[in-house]
Amino acid sequence: MSGFDASHSAAVLWAPECWPRLPQRLVEMLLHFCGAPDWLVTIGGLVAAAGTVVGVFLTGFALLSLIERKTLARIQNRIGPNRAGWFGILQPVADGIKMLTKEDIVPTKAEWFLHLLAPILIVVPSILALGVLPYGREWVPVPLDLGLLFFFAVGTLTELAVFMAGWASGSKFPMLGAMRAISQMVSYELPLMLSALGVIMVSGTLSLPGIVAQQSGFLLGFIPAWNVFTPWGLSAGLVFYIASIAEANRCPFDLPEGESEIVAGHMTEYSGFKYALFFMGEYLGLFAISGLGITLFLGGWQAPFPGLGSVPSWIWFFSKLVVVIFSFLWIRGTFPRVRIDQLMRFAWLCLIPMALLTIPAAGIWHFAGGGLIGWAVTVPMLLVPWVVLTIHYNKRLAPATRTYTFADS
Amino acid sequence: MAEPFHPYLPFLLWWVPLLPLIAGAVIAILPNRYGRVASQIATGALFLSCLIALAALLCSLTPGKMASSIPAVTWLTFGDVALQVGLWLDPMSAAMAAMVTFVALWIFVYSIGYMEKEARFGRFFGFLSLFCGAMLFVVLSNSLLLLFMAWELVGLASYMLIGFYFEKPTAAAAAQKAFITTRVGDMAFFIGMIWLYRQSGTLLFYDNGNGLLESGVLHSLAGATTVGGLAVSSAAALLLLVGAMGKSGQVPLHTWLPDAMEGPTPVSALIHAATMVAAGVFLVARTHPIFSAAADLNGLSLPLIAAAWIGGITALYAALVALAQTDIKRILAYSTVSQLGFMMVALGTGGVAAAMFHLIAHAFFKALLFLSAGSVIHGCHEEQDIRRMGGLRHAMPKTFVTYAVGMMALSGFPFVFSGFWSKEAILHKAQIWPGGHGPFLLAGAAALLTAFYMTRQALLVFFGVPRRPGVAHPHESPSVMLVPLYVLAAGAVLLALVGTPVWPWFEEWISGESARFDSGALMKPEVMHLIGLSLAIVTLGVGASWAIYRNVSSDSQAADPLAGKLGGVWRFLEQAMGFDALYEKAIIGPLAFFAGAIDALERQVFVPLMAVGESCVKRIGRWTGVSDEKGLNDGFDRLCSGLQNRAVSASRSQSGRPQAYLRAIGLGMSVLLILYFWLIA
Amino acid sequence: MTPLLILCPMMILAALGAVWLARPVHAALFLALALALTAVVYLAVGADFIGLVQFMVYVGAVAVLIVFSLLITRPGDEAEELLRRPRSWVTGLACTLPVFAVLVYAASRHTCLPDAAPENPSLSVESFGRVLFTTHAPAVLAVGVLLTAVMIGAALFAKEAHASSHTEPTRKPNTPGDS
Amino acid sequence: MNSSQHPRSRGRWSIPGLGLLKGLAVTAQNMLQSYYRKDRMTTVQYPEQRAPISPNFRNFPFLCYDGSDPVAGLRCTACSICEKECPPQCIYIVLDRDRSGKSLKRPKVFDIDVSVCMNCGICAEVCPFDSIYMDGEYELSTDDRFGGLLFGLDRLSKSAEYHATLRPDQATEVAARRHAEEQKNLAVQAAKAAKLKAEKEKNAPEPSTEGEHA
Amino acid sequence: MTPLSLLLIVSSLWFTLGLFAVLTRRNAILILVGIELMLNAANLNFIAFWRYGPPDPDFTGPLFVLFSIAIAAAEAAVGLAIILMVFRHTRSTDLNRLDSLHG
C-alpha cells in the first residue's frame, strides 16, 4: 500500500461504497496534511483500517451477546434482558463493566504466564482472520494472495491457545475440557478445510476477493451464481456449515464447555476480564468463520438479486452475516448437546467422506462446464452418499437403545 | 449404417471393458446378502458393454474405417519415458469383443439359474465380471503392456473362480495348479515383452507407423540377431508363444486345463469358450506380425513352425486322451485343448483369419456344450460320470437338442454347422502349408478322433438305457438356463453362414479385404477335395463310434468296449498320457528326494555324531567332576565368580537404552571426525 | 536482512528452550514457538506459501499432536534426572559439538557464493503449483499414498492398543493430576 | 426421532434430517408467537408485578394478634413450647411478669433469628394458642447482617387480618374455632357465675333483692 | 554477515540442539521434539539456498521443503502413535525404562 494518494476525488471518497474506508482515508489525509512522512501515513492508514474492522466487529460482538440472549429467550417464550436501557440495549455495557471490575483470580497451581497468554492467543487469530475477509467491493482490509491459506493457518493457533488455557489452569476440569476441545477442533478442521478445497479448485485462486469475483453474475438472469447453488457447492457448504458450528464451539457441538458436565471446560479457572476475552474470542471467531462461509459459498458481497447495484456491497455482506448468525442462534435454541462419541463419529464417518467426495464432484463440475452433464453426474454422485451416510449414521452408528434400570421409560 | 456412432467411439469403447470391471468393484463392496442385486449389476453391466461392443462391431464393418485407434493415454511417466496405454479397434478385436460380451452375457444369464442356491452367489458374479472385464482389456488393448496386465488379471480371476469351492481340497489344488502352470508361460511372456520394449522402445501395437506391429519396427526387429543367428523378433515371438501355450493349454503346459473343471460349470464354459484360453490364441493372432517378421520366402519362420507343430501335437494328443475319459466335463475339457491345438495349427500355418473364425465358432459351440453339460449335471443331481447316465434324451429333450447341435458343430458335421467350415478352413491352410505335412496329418487325425469321442459321449449320455444306480429321476432345467442354450445353439449354426468358401466374408473381413460372393469357389478342385476329406473324416469317426457304442451295456460298472481292445494303451490314455505323473516324477520327485536326503543326513549322520559327542562330553564331565572334587573346587569357584563379575560389568555397557548406543555411536563418529581433520591437516 | 536479524536470535532462544527446559509441556510449547518463528522467516524471505503451510502443518498439527500426547501421557519433570546424570549430557555434548563444528565449517565454506547474486523472486503460487503437479506429479502421488498409509497405520496402532487395554484390565490406571 | 413410538425402533425410519427440521419449526413457532400471543409469555415483571403467593407458601414465622392493639391482642402466652421445639433454636422468649413476679401470660421479649431459622414450620404446628404462623413475606434483604435479621416483637407481631389475607381458609377456620371456644368459655364462665350466684343465693336468704340492687 | 550465512548458522545450531535433545532427553515425545528441530533445520537450509543461492526457476528448494513437511507430519503421527502404544503397555514414555533388552 502506498502512501496517501491525493488524487482521490471527493466523489469516490464519499460514495457509500467507500464509507467503511473513510477512517483510513481521513487519517491518511490528516497525516499527509500535517506533513508526516510517507511510511507514517501508510502505517497510520493501516491502523485506522484495522481499527475500523476491529471496531465494527467489537460492536457486533456487543450487540450479538445481547441479541443472542434475546433470541434464546424468545425461543423459550421468555422476554430476555430488558432492564439496562431501552429494551435492554445497554446490557452489553453493563456486562462489560461487571466483567472489568471483577476480581482477576489466578489459581495457586496455575502457571501465571501461560494462564495470561491463553486468552490473548484466543483473540489474536480471530482478529487476524477477520483482517483478510473481503467485506465489500472496495473494502478488503488486507488483500492477500493466499488469503484462504492464511485464514486456516492462523485459525490453527486457537487449538494451542485452548491447550494453554486448559493446561496452565492446573486443575482437572480445564484439562478435560481442553482435551475435548482439541480433539473436536482437530477432527472438524479436516472437513472444514476439505470442503473449501472444491471452491479453490473451481475458482483457481486462494485469494478471497478472487473467490468472490468468481461468483459474480446470475444464472438465467435471476439465480445468483454463488457456489451454494451448485450441487457440489451445496454439499460442501453443508459440510462447511456443520463443521463451522463445531469449530466455533457452538451448540449442539459445545461440549468443550458443556456446563452440565465439566463446568466451563478450559475456561473454568478464569474470571473477570480474561473470561471476557475468551468470550470475545469465541464471538469474533464465529464472525470470522461465518464470514468465510459467506465468502466461499454465499457469494461474499454479491447482491442476491439482479438490479441492485446501487446498494453498497458491504451491506449485502453484513446482511448475509446477520442471516447466518441468526441461523446459528436458532440452532442453538433448538438442538440438545451431542455426546462426545457421537460427535467424533459424525466427523470421521459422515463429514470427512462427504467433504472428500465434494472434491471430485467439484472437479467434474469444473470440467463439464457446469451444464446439464455436470448436474447429471454430480447430483447423484453426492445425493446418494448423503442419504446413505445419514441413514447409516442414524441406524447403525447411533448408540443402542438404552434401558433404564431404575426408571420407567 | 454405423456412421452416427463413429464420433463417440473413442469415448464409448473404454466402457466395454470398464463396465464389467466397475461392476466387479461394486459387487466387491456389496455385502454378501445382496447376491441377487449383484447378479443384476453384473448382468446389466455386461449387457451394456455387449451393446457397445456390437455397435463397435458395426462400426468396424464400414470399409475404410475398419481400424481405428483409441487415442493412447499416458499412464505413467518416468523421466522422459512415458508408458502409454490405449485401445485398438480392428475387425479382429471388434469380433472378439462382440463374441466375448455376447457369449459371456448368456453364460451370466445361465449362471443366475445354475448358481441360484450358492451361498457366495454375489461374489461369484463379482469374479465373473472381473474375469470378463480383464478379458475385454486383453482383446481391445493397443499395447502389449496393457494386454499383459489384463492377462494377469485374467489369470487372477481364473484362479479365484476355479477355486470357487475352496472348501474342496481338489478345487483349491486345481486353482493353484492353474495359476502356477500359467505362471510358467507368463514368465516367458514377460521376458519377451521386456525384450521387445528394449529393442523397439515401444509397447504400443499401432502408433502411426511407430508401433510394434508396424513395418518400421518389425524390420528393425527382424534385422537384429541374437544367439545362434536367430532374429530378435523370432526369439521374442517364441517367448510370447510360450506364454500363449501356458494360457491356451498347449502341450506340455496343458495339465491345468482339465483340472480346472473343479470350478462351477459356468466358469468352465467361460474359461473354455470366451475368456481364458482364447487369450493365448488371441495373443498369437494379435502379435502375428512379429511371428512372421523374420519369415523366409515361403513365409516360414521358426516361431510359426513351432506353433504349427505344437498345435498339431496338442490337437492329436488331447483328442486321444479324450477318448478314454468318463467325466462329462473332462471330455469337453480335452476337446477344448484339442480345438486350441487346431487354432495353433492355423496360426502357425498363416491362417490368422481361419484361427479367429474357429476361435469364435468354437466359443459359441463350446459354451453351448458346457452349459448343456451343466444342465445335464444339474438335472442329474450333480452327477458327472457319463457311465452313470444314458437315455437322457427322454428326460431332458430340450437339453438334448441343444447338446446335439453343439456336439455336431464340434465334430464338424457338414454344411450347416460352423465347426465344419472353420475346421475345413484350418485343414485347408495346413494342407497348403509349405513347411511340411506333419501338422496337417496330425490335425486330420485329431478331427477324426473328435468326431469319434463326441459321438461316444453323446451316445453314452443321451441314448441307450438309463444306467444310474441310486440317482434320483433326472429333470429338465429351468428356462433361465435353457434360453441361453437356445441362443448359443442358434449362434453355433448361424455362424456357418459367414465362413463358407462360397462367401468367406469373415476371413476376408479379418484380413481387411472386401468379401464377394463366389459360388464357383465351392467347385474348385482343392476345395472339393478337402470337403470330401472332411466328410470322410466325420463319417468315419461318427460311424466307428456308433458301431462301438450303440449298444453299451446297461451296467454302469462295465468296462468301456474299447478298453478291452486297447488294453494298456487305454489305461495310458485314461491317465492323460501320464503328464501329471511325469511332472510328479520329473519335478516334484527330485525335490522330494532332496528333502528326504537332507532328512536322512540329519537322522543317520548328525544324530549319531551328536550321540558320540554327548558320551564324550559326559565322560569328560565325570572326569572333571572327580578332579574338581579332588581340590580344584575352590579355585574354580573363584574363577567362576571372577568371570561373573567381569561379565556383569561388561554387560553393563549393553544397557538396552537406545540413547546410550546412540551416544556411543556419536562419540565414535566424533573421534573419527577429529582423526580425519587431523590427518588432513 | 533486518527481520532476519530480529528473528534469528529469537529462533535460537526458542530452540534452546525446547531442548533445555525441564517441563515437557514447556519444551513442547517452545517447539511450537520455534516452528512458528520459522514460518515467519519463510514469510520474510518471500516463500509465502511454504510459510503458511509450515504454520498450518507444524503449529496447527504437529505441535498440537505433541502437546496432546503429552496431555495423555502426563510425564513428570526431567530437571532432577538430567542434573543427576551429568554423564548423559556430557557425552551428549561431546557428540554434538563436533557435529556443530563440522556444520559451521561447511556453512562457512558455502558462503563463498557471490553475495551480490540477484535474489530469486518470491514464490508465486500459480507457477509453484504448476511445477508441483506436472514435473513432480509422481512424487505428489507417492506422498499421497504415504499419508494414506500413515493414516491407516496410526488408526491401526490406536485400535490395537485399545484392544490390548481391554484384555489387560489389571494394569494400574494412570495417576491423574500431577500437572 | 420423528415417530411417536421409539426414536429408532427397527424398521421405521423417515427422511434423514426431517426430525431436525421439525425441531427447528417448533422453535421458530415459539419465537414468532411470543411476539403476539401474550398467553405464551409467563414472565412476571417482578418489582412492578408480583405473582400471588400460594397459601401453602411458608417463610419465616410471625406472631398473630387480635384486634388493633399489637400488645394487648397478642395471642402468645409465652408458654415457650415453640422455643423448645425449634430445631435450630432460633426462638428466644422472655416471659413478662409484673412487679410481684407473677406471670402476665405474655412475652416480654420474643426474638426470632431468621438467619438461623430453617422455615420448618414446627413452631406453628405445635403452638396451642394459634399464635405463631409462617409468614409469606420474602423481601427481607438487608445490609445489616445481624441486627437486621433478628426479628423482635415489633416486626413479628402481625394482625389477624393480615393472616386472613395470607391464608384465608386457615384464618377463618381458626377464627371460627377461637370464637367457638370463646363462646364456650363465656358460657362456662356464665355457668360458673350462675353457680356461684346460686350458692350465694342459697347462703343468703334474699338474694333477689340484692340482685336487683346490683 | 550475509543473510545466507546467518540462516546457515541458525540452522546448524538448530540441528545441533535437536541432536542434543535426541541424545539426552529421556521422554520419547521430547526426543520427537528434537527430531522435528533437526528436520526444520534442514528445511531452513533449503529455503535459504533457494532464496539467496543461484537462480532456481524450478522451485526445487520450496518443493523439497513442501514434501519434507508432508513427510514430517506423517512421521510425527506414526511416531506419536507408537509412543502412545508403548505408553499403554508400560505406563511410561521414559526411554530408559524400556530397557528389557539390556545385557
- CB contacts of C61 in chain A (<8 Å) are 156, 186
Last residue of a domain, one of C11, C35, C62: C62
Q: For chains B and E, count residue pairs whose Cβ atoms are closer than 8 Å.
A: 34
- Is-contact B381 B315, C-beta < 8 A? no
What distances in angstroms separate CA B379 from CA B111, B264, B333, B471, B487, one per listed residue?
A: 15, 15, 20, 10, 20
Interface list for E 55-94 with C (CB within 8 A): 55-56, 58-59, 62-63, 65-67, 69-74, 76-78, 80-85, 87-89, 91, 93-94
**Alpha-carbon span C71 to C57, nearest angstrom:** 20
What distances in angstroms separate CA B152 from CA B145, B240, B245, B343, C129, one per listed residue?
A: 11, 14, 15, 22, 37
What pLDDT is attached to residue A236? 92
The answer on pLDDT for C174 being more than 90 is: no
| Secondary structure element (H or E) that encloses residue B74, with its range | strand B68-78
Asked if the structure places residue C28 within a domain, the reply is: yes
Binning pLDDT at 50, 70 and 90, where does residue A192 land? very high
Q: Write the pLDDT tens digit of every residue in C23-75.
A: 888 888 999 999 999 999 988 888 888 889 999 889 888 898 888 888 888 76
Q: Which residues contact E34 (CB under 8 A, 6 or more apart)?
A: C19, E17, E18, E19, E20, E21, E22, E25
The answer on pLDDT for B636 being more than 80 is: no
E101 contacts chain C (CB < 8 A): no
Over residues C129-147, the mean pLDDT reads 86
Over residues B363-374, the mean pLDDT reads 87
Long-range contacts of B9-13 (CB under 8 A, 24+ apart): B9/B56, B9/B59, B9/B68, B9/B70, B9/B89, B10/B68, B10/B70, B10/B71, B12/B52, B12/B55, B12/B56, B13/B52, B13/B56, B13/B70, B13/B87, B13/B89, B13/B140
How many structural domains compose chain C? Answer: 2
Q: Write the pLDDT tens digit of every residue in A267-299.
A: 888 888 888 899 899 899 999 999 999 999 988
D43 contacts chain A (CB < 8 A): yes
**Alpha-carbon span A363 to A379, nearest angstrom:** 13
**Alpha-carbon span B227 to B207, nearest angstrom:** 29
Mutate one of B76, B670, B675 to test the C interface: name it (highest C CB count within 10 A).
B670
Over residues B608-615, the mean pLDDT reads 89
C-alpha grid cell for residue C90?
A: 556430557
What distances in angstroms separate CA A217 from CA A75, A133, A135, B589, C6, one per listed residue?
A: 37, 20, 18, 81, 47
Q: What is the mean pLDDT of chain E?
A: 84
| Pairing assessment for the beta strands D157-159 and D61-65 based on DSSP bridges | parallel
CA distance to partner chain B, nearest, from residue E16 (Å): 12
A401 contacts chain D (CB < 8 A): yes
What pLDDT is attached to residue D5? 43
Last residue of a domain, one of C44, C62, C80: C62
What pLDDT is attached to residue E43? 92
What pLDDT is attached to residue A409? 43
- Whether omega for the bond prior to residue B252 falls within 30 degrees of 0, making it cis, is yes
Q: Which residues contact B410 (CB under 8 A, 6 or more apart)?
A: B335, B339, B362, B365, B366, B369, B419, B450, B454
Binning pLDDT at 50, 70 and 90, where does residue C173 land? very low
Q: Considering just the CA atoms, what is the radius of gyration of chain B in Å?
A: 32
**Alpha-carbon span B246 to B185, nearest angstrom:** 5
**Alpha-carbon span C115 to C135, nearest angstrom:** 30
**Are residues C138 and B667, on separate chains, in Cβ contact within 8 Å?**
no
Beta bridge partners of B204: B143
The answer on pLDDT for E102 being more than 80 is: no
Q: What is the mean pLDDT of chain B?
A: 81
Binning pLDDT at 50, 70 and 90, where does residue C78 land? low
The answer on pLDDT for B464 being more than 80 is: no
Q: Which residues contact E60 (CB under 8 A, 6 or more apart)?
A: E50
**Are residues C136 and E63, on separate chains, in Cβ contact within 8 Å?**
yes
Residue of A300, A350, A354 whose CA lies nearest to A324: A300
Choose among C48, C64, C179: nearest Cβ to A109. C179
- Is-contact B210 B219, C-beta < 8 A? no
- Is-contact A296 A227, C-beta < 8 A? yes
- CB contacts of D22 in chain A (<8 Å) are none
Phi, psi of D136 (to 5 degrees): -110, 5
The answer on pLDDT for B528 being more than 90 is: no
What pLDDT is attached to residue C9? 87
Choose among A114, A157, A182: nearest Cβ to C59. A157
Asked if the structure places residue E37 within a domain, the reply is: yes
Map B482-528 to HEC letters: HHHHHHHHHHHHHHHHHCCCCCCHHHHHHHCCCCCCCHHHHHCHHHH
- CB contacts of C102 in chain B (<8 Å) are 673
**Are residues A79 and D30, on separate chains, in Cβ contact within 8 Å?**
no
**Alpha-carbon span B525 to A59, nearest angstrom:** 107
**Alpha-carbon span C125 to C146, nearest angstrom:** 24
Choose among A153, A182, A186: nearest Cβ to C52. A153
Over residues B281-308, the mean pLDDT reads 83
Binning pLDDT at 50, 70 and 90, where does residue B66 land? low
C124 contacts chain E (CB < 8 A): no
Residue E77: which domain range?
A: 3-97
Q: Write the pLDDT tens digit of every residue in D44-75.
A: 888 888 888 888 888 889 988 888 888 888 88
| Chain A contact partners (≥3 CB pairs within 8 A) | C, D
Strand order in the sheet with D150-151: D91-97, D103-113, D150-151
Over residues E89-95, the mean pLDDT reads 78
Residue C131: which domain range?
A: 126-166
| Chain B contact partners (≥3 CB pairs within 8 A) | C, E
**Alpha-carbon span A371 to E98, nearest angstrom:** 62
Supply the DSSP symbol for B68: E
Number of helices followed by number of strands (H, E) in chain D: 7, 6
Interface list for A 358-397 with C (CB within 8 A): none
Q: Per CATH, is D61-168 categorized as 3.30.70.3270?
A: yes
CATH number at residue E90: 1.10.287.3510
Choose among C95, C98, C102: nearest Cβ to B663. C95
A47-61, B302-316, C131-145, C151-165: the lowest-pLDDT one: C151-165
Asked if the structure places residue C80 within a domain, the reply is: no
Task: Evaluate whether chains D and B are touching (3 or more beta carbon pairs less than 8 Å apart).
Answer: no
Asked if the structure places residue C110 within a domain, the reply is: no
Q: Write the pLDDT tens digit of every residue in B397-429.
A: 888 888 888 888 888 877 778 888 888 888 888
More confident call, B364 vs C116: B364
Asked if the structure places residue E103 within a domain, the reply is: no
What pLDDT is attached to residue B78? 63
Number of helices followed by number of strands (H, E) in chain E: 3, 0
| Secondary structure element (H or E) that encloses residue C89, with its range | helix C86-110
CATH number at residue C54: 1.20.120.1200
What pLDDT is attached to residue A321? 93
Beta bridge partners of E94: E27
| Secondary structure element (H or E) that encloses residue D107, with its range | strand D103-113
**Are residues C95 and B673, on separate chains, in Cβ contact within 8 Å?**
no
| Pairing assessment for the beta strands D150-151 and D132-134 based on DSSP bridges | unpaired
Q: Look up cell 415457650; give the residue.
A: D80
Q: Write the pLDDT tens digit of every residue in A73-130.
A: 989 888 888 888 888 888 889 988 988 888 888 888 888 888 989 999 999 999 999 9
CA distance to partner chain C, nearest, from residue A210 (Å): 14
Beta bridge partners of A7: none
Over residues B339-350, the mean pLDDT reads 88
pTM score over 0.80: no
In terms of C-beta density within 10 A (0-12 exposed, 13-18 middle, 19 or more buried), how is residue E81 classed? buried
**Is E100 in a helix, a strand, or coil?**
coil
Binning pLDDT at 50, 70 and 90, where does residue A242 land? very high
- Whether omega for the bond prior to residue A252 falls within 30 degrees of 0, making it cis, is yes
The answer on pLDDT for D204 being more than 60 is: yes
Q: Considering just the CA atoms, what is the radius of gyration of chain C in Å?
A: 22
What pLDDT is attached to residue C164? 44
Q: Which residues contact C178 (CB under 8 A, 6 or more apart)?
A: C74, C76
- CB contacts of A394 in chain D (<8 Å) are 8, 13, 16
| Secondary structure element (H or E) that encloses residue B529, with its range | helix B525-549
Q: Which residues contact B610 (CB under 8 A, 6 or more apart)?
A: none
A306-315, B203-212, D92-101: the lowest-pLDDT one: B203-212
**Are residues B663 and C98, on separate chains, in Cβ contact within 8 Å?**
no
Asked if the structure places residue C171 within a domain, the reply is: no
Domain boundaries, chain D: 61-168
Binning pLDDT at 50, 70 and 90, where does residue B123 land? confident
Residue of B122, B151, B119, B121 whose CA lies nearest to B135: B151
Over residues E46-57, the mean pLDDT reads 80
The answer on pLDDT for D142 being more than 70 is: yes
A160 contacts chain C (CB < 8 A): yes
Mutate one of A146, A154, A268 to test the C interface: name it (highest C CB count within 10 A).
A146
**Are residues A395 and D8, on separate chains, in Cβ contact within 8 Å?**
yes
**Alpha-carbon span A190 to A157, nearest angstrom:** 15
Cβ atoms < 10 Å from Cβ of C111: 15
Number of helices followed by number of strands (H, E) in chain C: 8, 0
The answer on pLDDT for A323 being more than 90 is: yes
Q: What is the mean pLDDT of chain A?
A: 84
Q: Look up cell 527481520; give the residue.
A: C3
CA distance to partner chain E, nearest, from residue B80 (Å): 17
Q: Write the pLDDT tens digit of every residue in B562-610.
A: 766 666 777 777 776 677 777 777 777 778 888 888 888 888 888 888 8
What pLDDT is attached to residue A4? 47
Q: Considering just the CA atoms, what is the radius of gyration of chain E in Å?
A: 17
